[in-house]
Structure 1
């Protein structure tokens, strides 16, 4: 009952209209039927006047909307004495607005869920007891308690031994993720059944979930250009409807015929279809781990012809792995790797983690250095077990070991050289791996009509050409600075252009592209803020999904608009011959409104995504047969 009251208050004009209708029925049943035409007529004209005020304001601003037809239909039905039809037109107009609002609320629930779930408080541990503090007061280094089934308030690391986390709202990953001490915890994740302690590594404003919430809030406040396409039909549709009604009046000599035509010309389908479809598309994108900053982005995605990609971290993992160890005589592969990894513990270079991971993968024990120093960008020198170990670039190692020599590398590879006690000890080769689904992503984009591809990277030409050849990318620009990337994207002739990147250095080109898509899973804030869409998971294939959603949304929006136009025109033509009374026409138009909303709600795409997921997943039978 309480829910019904809330809905009635929210849509009070609809409630009032229904109240006027019920009052008219009571008056007719109690013998006071003469008052009904006055009640219905005065109320209908009052609503028409209210709508006319907004209509005139729009016209004075140079904007001709579809309200002209609605107001004209109400006035016409009252003038010719079709009071019941007039009230139904009022109900249709106000009810259409209410249905649009309801459909919008239904379609936005995935977006609203993110906003509603934003944590407000954290349990900070102080001297063996906890104190509830506002989430904005949490600072890096604070120790926090996360109770069972609570949302992780800020980004941090796990202090307790282990737990499981539901990260579906952040990454889209449906299965709980097992976490152990030291593992990263993302704000917005839901803790499992154990209370755990964590150490905050970021403030609330800098945490993953709050950044996503900010993006969602911005996305929900946008109106797409295609939504205004309905208003482009306003003038021709209004002129056609008035002319058809005038011709029907002139040929029949009956002014009621004019009202019967206009009742069916009420433009609610055009007003409702596009907004509902675009809100549904944004909701579908959010459910697929893509935050789209407005319906206009979906329209651009639907028309994309060229896809431009950054290389490192986008088409590749951005984390090089050791692919070969080439020791000199006197050293074996495991011994050389153990020395290198032990020294790299004291380096901040991106390759250091790769060497350490490779050693861990082989089960090698690392040794603590007696002394260590790093020469930024060149290498590291460490004394390990009484021996001097030098790891780094060829020129740097050559200064410490005159017998060092270059090793052969393939395109896309890089070499790390090693010297021990002043003698060349060997080299290790590393390569940044292609993402497993990068090739499939490009194929899907091509199937969606994005037939031109380009790669922009700061890497050398040989590496860039090698990656492009593996993926079948047609255009490559290497050794690019951020300004070079902006210029290259501006010069692409086949537009619109999407640019996909992940780093701070990609922020300018993401802002300059027709649609900038940021790989935001690693929290590249600058890239995410400058982009038009943000992929929340570390999955480049969502780029193709974004284009697919954009195309589906625009197609459904236009289908819904034309459905409303076609059905309305067909019914108007029938009414012009006097075959649909005004009251029946008003009721039929309500059916048209409902059909238009249902058609537009297809943009939410739940069944379509579920079918695609089922098609992509192996059947139980096929799994069992392996």
Structure 2
């Protein structure tokens, strides 16, 4: 049972008559074809066979002309589609008097869009469920402790909200109640409730348990995790899988074989009806429908696993990835660095260095900046407001704090502002943030960011999936990068890079397609230029998520390998579905060529071929069998 969100109350369900009218408006040719079939049947049963044949033939030829005009335009633009088979089949059945078969072919063609929409709707069910659960209102706690229902868009940071039992959390916040239990399955796929305690973050889109709770808002609706997910899902749902290219690989050979077999059957039998009977079972619906359904199923399967794949073309790229590139901080490492030591210099104290560094780092989006600020606050140091603060992407920050000019960042960047700076001696896994104050070298902050426990396992899994090469591209120092690479079993390391360096390296990698994984604002350019950009979006920047092709909603590096696995399985099912349709159609064509399948029976049999290919394509929704280890 799914809990009802505030936005679901009072939903109006359309009547059967309204649904039927909506279907007619959306698919007028399908409705007209059904009407033509009914009228034709009535005329035939009442002894007006000539009128029935005339009506059906004229209608079918009209549809063939309509399809033929579009087909000719495509051919003139250099696009050889597979509608030629359908048009030829309609004309040939009319020519030999099989007018019922011609109507069935028209219905099959015009109903293909409706059938695809139905299958796509089934495949996108997981995506739509996220949108349907989006809360429309929240309960704000007043000064007197009484809650008031307000639109979610009016919630502001710092307010206290009351989350009722079984209610969807509308915005991100911090839990004020002593403890609470939340269902996070819609976001993470984890079926068991997750316990949170006072001070823990609460993510929007999760469902509260059986007790009313209080949270303090930390992000307004537009900035909350669930709204960002919904925006990505809408982008994914509106994207059409670019399967025309895949279908075209098979379309021309299939058309040539079908026409050749139909002509041969006519020549050997001397009966022109054989030509029509063969083409009736050679209509191209399996090629047009099955592959897009498989791709939409793969996108839905990925969404259920906490992976938003923005378009079908990305799935195709994921299936063929040969090189995987990774940022270091927050990607291969956990992104939770800690300050181990402050090494002051130039007569400054450790407290002075840390307090001024933290003051300047307020204006940086880098994950190390948050760790510096947290460490300063943990030591009870005052963090000052600064003027003229500028973040120099991937290099550091300059700011004027309390009347003192502070420079924080990488050694080469800080060295540009001071003389006589000395490099810090580091042990394996350590990294240093350099600080200058008023033009003098003030010291270093020694930090450590542990590698993720599953980094090496993820690289190994990617290799088993056919990824030939794994490379790390990072702005951090070479020694720190080498240490992480050894633990993660990365094949190649490129360190001390600027964003433009990363772009140049990714563009120059020989084994393609190239997958790039990152999480910060500085990763946005390289994610955009990679063949497949994957953003670790659980705590990463919005810029990275927007420029990436894939967004992982969970803080789990293993999802990178899972996304490649889903891409490969989806592509396999798409191609399988096409070949199933081709094989069944060819088998029916041979039987029709031998005279065993009349035109009407062939048209009906082709519908079963369509159904078989679509059902196979829908397997992409399923997780697949796990290999025994």
Distance in 1, Cα, partners of 2:357 & 2:197: 24
In 2, Cα distance between equivalents of 1:505 and 1:16: 56
Rounded to whole Å, the distance in 2 between the matches of 1:510 and 1:305 is: 16
**Residue of 422, 443, 446 corresponding to 2:463:** 446
For residue 75 of structure 1, the aligned residue among 91, 94, 107 is 91
Match of 1:105 in 2: 121
The equivalent of 2:556 in structure 1 is 539
* d(CA) in 2 for partners of 1:358, 1:372: 11
1:521 paired residue number: 538
Match of 1:6 among 10, 19, 28: 19
Asked if the contact 1:306–1:496 (Cα under 8 Å) also holds between the matched residues in 2, the reply is: yes
Q: Take 2:526 and 2:373, find their aligned partners in 1: how far apart are those partners?
A: 34
Q: Which runs of 5+ in 1 are unaligned?
A: 327-338, 360-365, 379-391, 395-404, 418-426, 617-626
Match of 2:223, SS? coil
Q: Secondary structure at the match of 1:436?
A: coil
* CA–CA distance in structure 2, aligned partners of residues 414 and 228 of structure 1: 48
Please list the CA deviations of residues 293-317 of structure 1 after superposition, one character each: whole Å capped at 9, or x if unmatched: 1011111111111001111111111
What is the RMSD of the two structures over their aligned residues, measured on CA atoms?
Answer: 3.6
Q: 2:160 matched to 1:166?
A: no
Q: 1:194 aligns to what SS in structure 2?
A: coil
SS at match of 1:139: coil
Q: Which residue of 2 aligns with 1:498?
A: 515
What TM-score results when the alignment is normalised by the length of structure 2?
0.80
**2:530 and 2:43 mapped to 1: Cα distance?**
64
Question: Is 1:37 equivalent to 2:87 in the alignment?
Answer: no
Q: Provide the rounded CA distance (Å) in 1 between the counterparts of 2:516 and 2:423.
A: 37
| Distance (Å, rounded) in 1 between the aligned partners of 2:200 and 2:371 | 18
Identify the residue that residue 250 of structure 1 maps to in structure 2.
267
In structure 2, what is the equivalent of residue 48 of structure 1?
A: 64
Q: Unaligned regions of 5+ residues in structure 2, if any?
A: 1-13, 344-349, 362-366, 390-395, 398-408, 412-421, 435-443
1:307-322 maps to which residues of 2 (within 5 A)?
A: 307-321=324-338
2 CA distance for matches of 1:258 and 1:499?
52
Q: Under a length normalisation based on structure 1, what TM-score does the superposition of the two structures give?
A: 0.80
- What SS does structure 1 have at the residue aligned with 2:97? coil
Residue 406 (structure 1) shift: 11
Does the 8 Å contact 1:345/1:352 carry over to 2?
no
* Alignment partner, residue 107 of structure 2: 91
SS of aligned partner of 1:522: coil
Q: Distance in 2 between matches of 1:573 and 1:243?
A: 12
Comparing 228-237 and 66-75, the one that deviates more? 228-237
Q: Is the 8 A contact 1:149 1:191 kept in 2?
A: yes
Residues 416, 111 of structure 1: alpha-carbon distance in 2 compared, 3 angstrom cutoff: closer
Is the 8 Å Cα contact of residues 345 and 356 (structure 1) preserved in structure 2?
no
Please report how far the alpha carbon of residue 105 of structure 1 lies from its aligned counterpart in structure 2 after TM superposition. Answer: 0.4
Matches within 5 A, 1:414-425: 414=431
Of 118, 121, 130, 1:114 maps to: 130
**3-state SS, counterpart of residue 222 of structure 2:** coil
14, 22, 37: which is aligned to 1:21?
Answer: 37
Alpha-carbon spacing, 1:4–1:249, altered in 2? closer, same or farther (3 Å): farther
CA distance in structure 1 between the partners assigned to 2:152 and 2:236 by the alignment = 23
Pairing 1:221–2:238 present: yes
Q: 2:174 is paired with a residue of what secondary structure? A: strand
Superposition deviation, residue 574 in structure 1? 2.5
Is 1:64 the counterpart of 2:77? The answer is no
> Aligned to 1:459, what secondary structure does the other structure show?
coil
Contact 2:82 2:255 survives alignment (8 Å): yes
Partner Cα separation in structure 2 for residue 4 and residue 585 of structure 1? 33
Q: Quickly say closer, same or farther: Cα 1:41–1:470, change in 2 above 3 A.
A: same
416 and 87 in structure 1: CA distance in 2 versus 1, 3 angstrom threshold = closer
How many correspondences in the alignment? 560
1:196-240 deviation per Cα after TM superposition (whole angstroms, max 9, x unaligned): 232222222211111111111111222344443213433333233
Q: Are residues 416 and 41 of structure 1, via their aligned partners in 2, closer, same or farther at CA, if it must alter by over 3 Å?
A: closer
CA distance in 2: counterparts of 1:353 and 1:550, whole angstroms: 35
1:208·1:523 contact (CA, 8 Å) conserved in 2?
no
Aligned counterpart in structure 1 of residue 286 of structure 2, from 269, 281, 301: 269
The 1:65–1:125 alpha-carbon spacing in structure 2 relative to 1, beyond 3 Å, is: same
Q: Name the CA distance, whole Å, in 2 between partners of 1:416 and 1:8.
A: 67
Match of 2:489 among 472, 479, 483: 472
Q: Distance in 2 between matches of 1:211 and 1:372?
A: 31
CA distance in 2 between counterparts of 1:560 and 1:277 reads 8
Contact kept? 2:429, 2:450, Cα under 8 Å: no
165, 176, 180: which one aligns with 1:148: 165
